[in-house]
Amino acid sequence: MTKVSMNVNGKKVSRDVPDETLLSDFLREKLRLTGTHVGCDTSQCGACVVHVNGKAVKSCTTLAVSLEGAEVTTIEGLANGKELHPMQVAFNDNHGLQCGFCTPGMIMTSVDMVARYKAEGRKLTSDLIRQELEGNICRCTGYHNIVKSIEDASAKM
């Protein structure tokens, strides 16, 4: 057991956890933030993506104890109170989700994607969005409306 403290969605949290605890388990089981999902065991589906220190990471492939002092944002912390993040709005506006299971990781990846491109001053095209979604698998939407959602939000972020 190791005590780990981090800042999750703007709140300081500390928990004693076994060293092998993955960030996804830490969030789901210790903090009961169950919006972060686990859809595979080979780090490919991306349902578990959260932001750590401003970067998208796969929480299923990150040890919680390695994140002492880190800033973590999960899907539950994306909205500003009742006001949804433009990416959350865009997924609703463009029917970018069906069963909702991949959606938290999809949205967290998309927010990171748009932010990176904006920071680098690069234009995000639909082809690039598709490439950037390499690490996020959706079985419901055929991606059409996910790509549209990201294009839409990108214009508003």
Partner 1 sequence: MTTGIGNPVKRKEDRRFTTGRGRYTDDVRNDNQAYAAFVRSPHAHARVKSIDTKAALAMEGVIDVLNGKQLTGDGIGNLICGWAISSKDGSPMNMGAWSALATEKVRYVGDAVAVVIAETQALARIAAEAVEVDYETLPVAASLTAAMAKGAPQIHDNAPGNLIYDWGLGDEAAADAGLKAAKHVTTLDLTNNRLSPNPMEPRSAVASYDAAEEHYTLYTTSQNPHVARLVLSAFYNVAPEHKLRVIAPDVGGGFGSKIYIYPEEITCLWASMKTNRSVKWTSDRSEAFLTDMHGRDHVTTAQMGFDENGKITGFKVDTIANLGAYMSLFSSSVPTYLYAPLMSGQYDIQNIYCNVRAVYTNTVPVDAYRGAGRPEAAYLVERMMETAARELNMDPAELRRRNFVQSFPHQTPVLMAYDAGDFPKLLDMAQKSADVAGFPARKAEAAKRGKLRGLGYSTFIEACGLAPSKAAGSLGAGVGLWESAEVRVNPVGSIEVLTGSHSHGQGHETTFAQIVAERFDIPVENVSIVHGDTDKVQFGMGTYGSRSAPVGMSAVVKAMDKVEAKVKKIAAHALEASEDDLVIEGGAVKVKGTDKQMLWHEVGLAAYTAHNLPDGMEPGLKETAFFDPVNFSFPSGAFICEVEVDPDTGVTEIVQFVAADDFGTIINPMIVEGQVHGGVAQGIGQAMMEQVVYDDNGQLLTGSYMDYTMPRAADLPFYKVSHQVTPSPNNPLGVKGCGEAGAIGAPPAVINAITDAIGNNHLNMPATAHAVWQAIRAGKSAMAAE
Partner 2 sequence: MYPTKYHKPASISDAVALLAGNDEAMILGGGQTLLATMKQHLAAPSDLVDIRAIKGMSGISTSDTALTIGAATTHADVAASKEVKKLCPALADLASHIGDPAVRSQGTIGGSIANNDPAADYPAAMLALAATIVTNKREIAADDFFLGQFTTALEEDEIITAVKVNAATKAAYAKFAQPASLFAMVGVFVAKGAAGVRVAITGAGDDGVFRHAGLEAALTADWSDSAVNEVAISADGLMSDLHGSAEYRANLIRVMAKRAVAAT
Q: How far is the CB of 84 from partner 1 (least distance, A)?
A: 7
| Residue 104 makes contact with partner 2 by CB under 8 A | no
- Give helix 86-93 / helix 144-156 axis angle, nearest 10°: 140
Site string for partner 2, 120-149 (x = CB under 8 A): x-----------x-xxx-------------
Nearest to 35 by CA among 4, 78, 95: 78
Among partner 2, partner 1, none, what does residue 153 contact (CB within 5–8 Å per kind)?
none
Tokens at 109, concatenated: 């990846």
49 binds partner 2 (CB under 8 A): yes
Q: Rounded to the nearest 5°, which phi and psi values hold at 146?
A: -70, -45
Residue 74 makes contact with partner 1 by CB under 8 A: yes
**Residue 17 bridge partners (DSSP):** 2
Q: Is residue 33 part of the contact set for partner 2 (CB under 8 A)?
A: no
